[in-house]
């Protein structure tokens, strides 16, 4: 190929696989500017319970910040384009006050993008980025309308650089699990159709698949090996395994069952009789105890009767004329025998 310079017009011959030859015009353009991606950062909100394991996954709902390093100075009229690989969605960032670009220095550009606002809730898939370097103005007299008409032809752009994969995250609220490890748990949340599968371990053994188009608010999932932590794959990028630490309320305690024993009528009667016998026995023992106590209000029957304590009269002794003592004791008259009843 002969030496060329920017702006030269050449003719190229192209041979097709079917044997045909085509001739097309070619214009020599300026070499593409060299641009490198220094860093990127996309952190979901603190309320998100999902930790993305791949640094290439970019949450749709989280602001994205990245830094580009350009070999030539980045012009004030330069642009940065972020686009889906299939070309269906595109966002353009500029150095305007609200354009999303900030110059750290002439060769370093910091870009900030809100993917959800720029692309909408249905955006997902791989993204790439490039820098656009418009040509310098050749004269102040050139109308701005003429520049707009020729901008797409004269602009110089860098190569496309891979930026990451845009993914959408479901909202996971609670995980309720019974105490039995073999029992399934109930996962509550919204947009659960964004989950491809859920497993209890990072090895992704025995995963539970989520049906296509699932719009329910709960899912039956395996019991996690670690309390409150499940592992899932997203539909927008089903290769990485991501951890989800989900709030898990303590399971309600089991109600205690109290056995009630019903007694038959005969048993109740027998029990009543037994209680009555015990009551009578108690009363008898009380009465017996009372009788053993001395009665201080009544005189003792064994005490000495006052009439019995009166001294017996001693026989009087009279002195007869002869001076000898004479016993004057009068013998008691003999007891009269009962009258005999005459016999007929």
> How long is the chain?
344
Report the distance separating Cα 92 and Cα 111, nearest Å. 11
C-alpha atoms less than 13 angstroms from C-alpha of 290 in its C-beta half-sphere = 6
Report the distance separating Cα 51 and Cα 15, nearest Å. 52
Q: Is 87 helix (H, G, I), strand (E, B) or coil?
A: coil
- Output the CA torsion 53→121→160→64 (10° steps): -60
Q: What is the pLDDT of residue 241?
A: 97
Whether pTM exceeds 0.85: no
Complete domains list, the chain, with CATH: 35-136+146-167 (2.60.40), 171-245 (no CATH)
What does the longest C-alpha to C-alpha distance in the chain come to? 209
Residue 167 in tokens: 């993914």
DSSP labels for 149-170?
A: HHHHHH-EEPPPEEEEEEE---
Radius of gyration for the alpha carbons in the chain, expressed in angstroms and rounded: 59
- Give Cα separations from 15 to 10, 19, 109, 220, 232 (angstroms): 17, 7, 42, 60, 50
Q: What is the mean pLDDT of each run of 10 residues along the chain (344 residues)?
A: 82 91 88 92 80 94 96 95 96 96 97 96 97 70 41 73 96 92 92 96 93 94 91 96 89 56 51 51 48 46 43 46 47 50 44
CB of 207 closer than 8 Å to CB of 242: no
């Amino acid at each position: 190929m002969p030496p060329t310079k920017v702006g030269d017009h050449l003719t190229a011959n192209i041979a097709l696989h079917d044997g045909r030859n085509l001739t097309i015009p070619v214009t020599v353009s300026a070499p593409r500017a060299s641009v490198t991606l220094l860093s990127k950062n996309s952190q979901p909100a603190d309320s998100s319970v999902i930790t993305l394991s791949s640094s290439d996954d970019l949450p749709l709902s989280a602001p994205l910040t990245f830094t580009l390093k350009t070999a030539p100075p980045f012009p004030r009229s330069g642009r940065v384009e972020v686009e889906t690989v299939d070309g269906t969605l595109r966002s353009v960032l500029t150095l305007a006050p609200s354009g999303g670009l900030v110059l750290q220095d002439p060769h370093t550009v910091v870009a900030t993008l809100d993917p959800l606002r720029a692309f909408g809730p249905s955006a997902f898939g791989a993204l790439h980025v490039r820098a656009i370097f418009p040509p310098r103005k050749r004269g102040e007299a050139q109308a701005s309308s003429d520049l707009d008409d020729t901008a797409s032809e004269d602009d110089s752009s860098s190569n496309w650089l891979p930026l990451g994969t845009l993914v959408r995250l479901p909202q996971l609220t609670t995980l309720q699990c019974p105490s039995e490890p073999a029992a399934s748990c109930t996962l509550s949340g919204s947009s659960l159709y964004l989950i491809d599968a859920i497993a209890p371990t990072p090895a992704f053994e025995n995963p539970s698949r989520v049906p296509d188009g699932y719009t329910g608010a709960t899912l039956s999932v395996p019991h996690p090996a670690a309390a409150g932590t499940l592992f899932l794959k997203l539909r927008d990028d089903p290769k990485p395994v991501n951890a989800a630490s989900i709030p898990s309320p303590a399971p309600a305690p089991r109600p205690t069952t109290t056995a009630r024993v019903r007694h038959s009528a005969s048993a109740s009667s027998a029990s009543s009789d037994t209680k009555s016998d015990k009551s009578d026995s108690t009363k008898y023992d009380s009465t017996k105890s009372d009788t053993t106590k001395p009665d201080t209000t009544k005189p003792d029957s064994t005490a000495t009767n006052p009439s019995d304590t009166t001294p017996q009269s001693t026989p009087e002794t009279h002195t007869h004329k002869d001076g000898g003592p004479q016993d004057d004791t009068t013998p008691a008259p003999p007891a009269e025998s009962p009258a005999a009843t005459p016999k007929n």
